[in-house]
Amino acid sequence: MADFDPEQFEDKYANYFPELQQAYKNAFNRMNDKYDSELVHAIDQQVLNESEPFYEGNGEFRVELPDDPYGRLSGVLVDEERFEQVLEVHVEEIETELQHVFGFA
């Protein structure tokens, strides 16, 4: 766990890249155990690879998604409602993992 500095998080990829990788990996592994691995992998590679984590304050993180996440999806058949449900859970898992990695939970 790194000593967390909100100001350094503004340049997160320079200052906290290993921690960010760990949080995303932990969330991916948890999702892969619970949901269709093909869908989880597609979300990870085609949507979350362009996501942006932000520190909101008080130990809370937010993950911003790219525009039109469902439209980015290819190579897997899933209806939009199911996709949105799994994506929402995946984002929540990442936010929770960020709290753990940075010592807020």
Task: Decide if 96 is inside a domain.
Answer: yes
For the chain, the domain total comes to 1
Say what the pTM is: 0.94
Residue 14 lies in a domain: yes
Asked if residue 1 is part of any domain, the answer here is no
Cα distances from 5 to residues 11, 23, 85, 102, in angstroms, run 11, 17, 32, 10
Residue 92 counted as domain residue: yes
Q: What is the pLDDT of residues 60-93, one digit of tens each?
A: 999 999 999 999 999 999 999 999 999 999 999 9
Domain of residue 78 covers 6-101
